[in-house]
Amino acid sequence: NSALGPHKGGLRFHPTVSLDVIKFLAYEQVFKNSLTGLQIGGGKGGSDFNPRGRSDREIMRFCQSFMTNLYRHIGSSTDVPAGDIGVSGREIGYLFGQYKRITGKYELGVLTGKDISWGGSLARVEATGYGCVYFAQEILKEAGDELKGKRCVVSGSGNVAIYAIEKLQEFGAVVVACSDSDGTIYDPKGLDLKLLQEIKEVRRERLYKYKDTHSHAEYRKGSKVYDVECECAFPCATQNELTGEDAQKFVAGGGRLVCEGANMPTAPEALTLFREKNVLFGPGKAANAGGVAVSALEMQQNAGWGTWTF
């Protein structure tokens, strides 16, 4: 749908990336981006490169090689990538550096999700997680309810998950679990967000480290957040993570609302059950559009050589 504007969507670096995965993500992105009402067509890209355990230098070299081919396909009025799983501000920086080296152009509008100090937009890192939680709050409002006091779980521990947790806590919800691909951290007192950010954003470590300082918490290796009883679940990890079996546990445990921060995390069997049981449901195409929407605002700021307030 390039009639709307340049193709826009995330780049994903993860071993599960395949042509099929990228095609469905791009297809979803078309509808999501249309819903934002902004001038962005849909796109997606990525690689099955596994960044896990790699040094900064190895990540940099991969990003440079990737851009050495990608540069011919992107541009501020053709296709504007951002981050997705495995691609954050660090990777966008390495990619931008290589783009500039090859083309000789300081073309800010060619990538979004840039660092604030060189053309990035305030609120871009928070936008997807925050947006997902605002969406959930609106769903509940329609039902005469609110997030305050609700026991919640958030799958994942990346960008989307972390800022969903932050906004949930701000709304007075109690977030008791989050996860990475190895397991789940269950903290009955409510997750310590500052510690999570330190582990994931600063130290770039695995989630089990949470227990080092918080021995009252439980690390459940190989287990998912849906094993924890809750009223609201926010799947913010990856596609098809919430299976039919997870959905049954969720409903049996009194689950009432699911709002998708990730792209298509709810498997078809789970969706069918949610419909049957009248579980309130926020589909990612709408509920996680905050990220790409702020990316479009980043492009507007870049086009005007300006920066907006939060």
Is 221 assigned a catalytic role? no
Nearer to ligand GLU, 10 or 120 (CB): 10
Task: Identify whether the C-beta of residue 113 lies closer than 8 Å to the C-beta of residue 124.
Answer: yes
**CB of 131 closer than 8 Å to CB of 285:** no
Q: Which of 8, 23, 32, 44 is catalytic?
A: 44
DSSP state of 82: E
Q: Smallest distance, Å, CB 99 to ligand GLU?
A: 16
> In the window 28-67, what residues touch ligand GLU (CB under 6 A)?
none
Q: Closer CB to ligand GLU, residue 13 or residue 219? A: 13
User: Is 10 one of the binding residues for ligand GLU (CB under 6 A)?
Assistant: yes
Tell me if 121 contacts ligand GLU by CB under 6 A: no
Q: Which of residues 88 and 184 has its CB atom nearest to ligand GLU in the complex?
A: 88
Please state the φ and ψ torsions of residue 245, each to the nearest 5 degrees.
-65, -45
Q: Which stretch binds ligand GLU (CB under 6 A): 8-16, 114-122, 210-218, 266-274?
A: 8-16
List the one residue from 91, 155, 291, 301 that touches ligand GLU (CB under 6 A).
Answer: 291
Secondary structure class of 180 (helix, strand, coil): strand
Distances (CA, A) of 163 to 3, 34, 127, 224, 276: 32, 24, 8, 19, 30
Window of 60-68, 114-122, 191-199, 291-299 that interacts with ligand GLU by CB under 6 A: 291-299
Residue holding tokens 């040094």? Answer: 55
Q: How many residues does the chain have?
A: 310
Contact stretch for ligand GLU (CB under 6 A) within 7-15, 90-98, 135-143, 216-224: 7-15
**Contact residue for ligand GLU among 292, 297, 301, 302 (CB under 6 A):** 292
H helix runs in the chain, sequence order: 19-36, 56-70, 89-103, 124-142, 159-170, 193-197, 210-213, 244-252, 268-276, 284-287, 290-303
Considering only 157, 184, 239, 295, the residue that binds ligand GLU (CB under 6 A) is 295
Three-state DSSP state, 187: coil
Q: Which residues are catalytic?
A: 44
- Site residues (vs ligand GLU, CB under 6 A): 8-10, 82, 84, 112, 263, 291-292, 295
